[in-house]
Each structure stands twice: as C-alpha cells, then as structure tokens.
Amino acid sequence: MWGAPFLLGLLTSIAGVVLLGATLFTSMVTIFFVGVMLVIGGVLEIAAAVRARGESRGAFWSFMLGGVLTTVVGILTVRYPAAGLASLTLLIAGYFFASGLFHVITSVMDRYFQWAWDLAFGLISLVLGLSVMAQWPASSVWLVGTLVGLAVFFRGISMMSGSLMLRRGLHRVEA
C-alpha cells in the first residue's frame, strides 16, 4: 500500500535531478508548455465570449479582448520561446524582489513572534531577485529550469515522506 507511492516519489525525485542537470532544456520545455496553455486558455475565453454575447455586452467584450490577448501572447511565446523565457525570468525576478521587500519591511516594522526568520527570508528573496535581474538575460537560461527541477525534486521527496508516514501508520494499526 505504501510501496507504490514511495517508488513514484523516488522516480519523481530522480526526474527532478535530471531536470536540474538540463536546465536549458527544462526551461525551453516549460516555456513551450506555458505558451500552449495560454493559447488553449485564450481560445476557451473567446468561446466563453461568444456564449456570453447575448447576455451582456460588457461580459462579451471583456472575455473577447482577454481571450484575444491571451491567445496572441501564447502564440508569441510558442513562436519566440527565448523572448518568452526572458520575459518570464524578469517576471520571476520582480516577484522575488517585491516579495522580499515586503517581508523585510513588514518584519522590521511589526516585530511579530520570530520576525527574524521572516526578515532572513525577505533578505534572501531580495538578493535572489537582484542577482537574477543583474544577470538578465543570461539568467533566463537557468532560472526557470532550476525552479522547475527543484519543484519536481522536492515533490518526489514529499511523496516518499508521505508514503513512509503511511507505512508507519499501518504498522501502528497492525500492532
């Protein structure tokens, strides 16, 4: 009962290590996937606009313009993956910077319980955001692939941990 999830977690962790070893490939596959999902989402939003046409003109135009924009961005991302990857990298770097700045400011201003951990997290996020921005566009080659690889690796670790907890629980029930 616990062995299959453990094995799946082990294989997922190994896949994460492989993805970390091929960050450019991982980044390109990820940006292609994001582009395809944008195209699919945009087309579905256009279909929703056509369905909402009789109900409300405001909803129709909102869905239609959003759908066209999403579809165009998706097509451009698939057609020009390097530009899409560079844009996504800047977006992620901006997120790290803004999130870090928010955590630094709120932890220093509020000084809540264990605020120093939040301050440390914020400072690390700030440094990460600034270093990615400083290395841009070269950071586009490794950032997205590294983040995806780490996410897959730790997902596998989480699956293995959960299966071992299930095993421990089953042993307690039997005893």
Reported confidence tier of residue 43, pLDDT bands at 50, 70, 90: very high
Q: Which residues contact 49 (CB under 8 A, 6 or more apart)?
A: 59, 60, 61, 62, 63, 64, 67
Note the pLDDT of residue 65: 94
Reported confidence tier of residue 2, pLDDT bands at 50, 70, 90: confident
Reported confidence tier of residue 44, pLDDT bands at 50, 70, 90: very high
Mean pLDDT lowest for which of 4-8, 55-59, 75-79, 138-142? 55-59
Q: How far apart are CA 164 and CA 170, in angstroms?
A: 10
Q: What's the number of domains the chain is made of? A: 1
Domain coverage including residue 48: 3-174
| Tens of pLDDT, residues 161-171 | 988 888 888 77
CB distance 144 to 1 below 8 Å: no
Q: What percent of the chain has pLDDT over 90?
A: 63
| Tens of pLDDT, residues 66-108 | 999 999 999 999 999 999 999 989 999 999 999 999 999 999 9
Q: In the predicted model, what is the mean pLDDT of residues 8-14?
A: 94
| Tens of pLDDT, residues 90-99 | 999 999 999 9
Residue 175 pLDDT exceeds 70: no
pLDDT averaged over every residue in the chain = 90
Tell me the longest C-alpha to C-alpha distance in the chain: 66
Q: In the predicted model, what is the mean pLDDT of residues 40-61?
A: 87
